[in-house]
Amino acid sequence: MNKIYPSAEAAVADIGDGATIMIGGFGLCGIPEDLIAATVARGVKNLHTISNNMGVDHVGMGLMLEAGMIASHIGSYVGENKLLEEMVLGGRLDLTLVPQGTLAERIRAGGAGIPAFFTPAGAGTIVAEGKEIREFKGRSYVMEEELTADFSLVKAWRGDRMGNLVYRKTARNFNPVMATAGRCTIAEVEEIVEPGELDPDSIATPGIYVHRVVRWTGYEKRIERRTVRGGGQ
């Protein structure tokens, strides 16, 4: 078994027009930058993206947005992106905003074979409009459906040829759940190690979920808000 691909370009070569793609990361933390760049370079159209955010101008998913390749997006927070707002208001992009925990759980459900579930998040708000509401123990819950994707692009710290992945600090975020919900999951890792080198007790994503592994090109990870002790940014 060898899931290692020679490059990000090779790993995304079969992403076609109209594909649904999940992309890991929280803000710019833990995003698969090389896989995003390779997808942008393919020039495909009408992608349906699922990701907590939408990058920022000229970075991360902001590049996909600027390339005009996204037809619809499901996320929880897109406040850092002016172009997105223009596209949504101009009817060029269909945006669905979902509570962050509901987004995470819909993805988890998709990977775990649970077609729908009930959550209290959003009950009594516009998020619940048009959805089934049910009472449990005297409280209102909103039915939310699973999310899956044709491709999940995730970022991990270390991985092996079997697809086992380990994440680093808060760069984990949405990556492990998205890895479970992609029919083809592609992992970009900082370091490829031999099977057995990752502590089996510490593997956050078991290789069964991962179909392709590529090593990153060693870019400098962007910090969205640099804050340091004693105040100041």
Residues at the interface with another protein (CB under 8 A): 26-30, 52, 75-79, 84-85, 88, 95, 97, 99-105, 107-108, 119-127, 157, 167-177, 204, 221-230
Q: How far is the CB of 168 from another protein (least distance, A)?
A: 5
Cα angle 150, 173, 30 (rounded to 5 degrees) comes to 80
Chain position carrying tokens 């090779």 = 10
**Nearer to another protein (CB atom), residue 69 or residue 122:** 122
**Nearer to another protein (CB atom), residue 134 or residue 196:** 134
* 69 Cβ contact partners less than 8 Å away, ≥ 6 residues apart: 39, 40, 43, 44, 45, 46, 47
**Nearer to another protein (CB atom), residue 169 or residue 201:** 169
56, β-bridge pairs: 59
Q: How far is the CB of 100 from another protein (least distance, A)?
A: 4
Secondary structure class of 2 (helix, strand, coil)? coil
Q: How far is the CB of 191 from another protein (least distance, A)?
A: 13
Q: How far is the CB of 174 from another protein (least distance, A)?
A: 5
Burial of 193 (C-beta count, 10 Å sphere; 0-12/13-18/19+): middle
**Nearer to another protein (CB atom), residue 6 or residue 138:** 138
